[in-house]
Amino acid sequence: MKQLYLIISLLFISFSYGQESKPNGEIDGFKLYPNPVTNGKVFIITGENAPKMILIFDVLGTEVLRTTLLGSELNLSDLGAGVYVLRVFEKNKVATRKLIVK
Write the CA distances from 39 to 4, 7, 11, 63, integer angstroms: 62, 59, 53, 22
Question: Which is it for strands 73-75 and 63-69: parallel, antiparallel or unpaired?
Answer: unpaired
The CATH class of 23-101 is mainly beta
What is the 8-class DSSP label of residue 28?
Answer: T
The pTM for the full model equals 0.75
pLDDT-above-70 percentage for the chain: 76
Q: Phi, psi at residue 8, to the nearest 5°?
A: -65, -40
Closest to 43 measured CA to CA, from 53, 35, 18, 79: 35
| Gap between the terminal Cα atoms of the chain | 63
Q: What is the signed CA dihedral for 39, 26, 85, 75, rounded to 10 degrees?
A: 30
What's the pLDDT at 73? Answer: 96
- Give pLDDT tens digits for 10-36: 545 554 444 444 456 789 999 999 999
Beta bridge mates, 85: 57, 98
Give the mean pLDDT per block of 10 residues along the chain (102 residues).
56 49 76 95 94 96 96 94 96 95 94
Domains in the chain: boundaries: 23-101
